[in-house]
Amino acid sequence: MSKFFTLFLLTLLISLMPLHAQVSLGLRGGYTLSATQIKNSQGYKSNSLGTSSQLTNFHADLMINVPVYKRLYFQPLVRYITKGAYLRPLPSKQGVFVESANQLKLHYLEVPLNMVLKFPVSLGKIVVGGGPYVAYGLNGTYDLDLMYNGSVVSTDSHSIEFNYKDRGIAPGAQLSRFDAGANLAFGIEFNNLMVVGANLSRGMFNLDRTSSAKITNSYFSLSLGVLLDREDY
- What is the per-residue pLDDT for 168? 60
pLDDT at 161: 72
pTM higher than the cut 0.85: no
For residue 85, what pLDDT is reported? 85
Q: The domain containing residue 68 runs over which residues?
A: 2-86+109-141+181-227
Nearest to 76 by CA among 1, 11, 3, 2: 11
List, run by run, the mean pLDDT of 10-residue segments along the chain (233 residues). Answer: 54 52 86 87 64 86 92 94 82 69 88 96 96 93 75 75 64 79 96 95 89 87 91 57
pLDDT at 87: 76
In eight-state DSSP terms, residue 103 is E
40 CB burial (10 A radius; 0-12, 13-18, 19+): middle
pLDDT for res 28? 96
Closest CA to 55 of 105, 90, 89, 101: 105
> What's the rounded Cα separation, in Å, for the pair 213 and 44?
10
Q: Do the domain assignments include residue 150? A: no
3-state secondary structure of 79: strand
**CATH number assigned to the domain comprising residue 76:** 2.40.160
Domain count, the chain: 1
Q: Are the C-beta atoms of residues 31 and 221 closer than 8 Å to each other?
A: yes
How much is the pLDDT for 91?
Answer: 65
Residue 233 lies in a domain: no
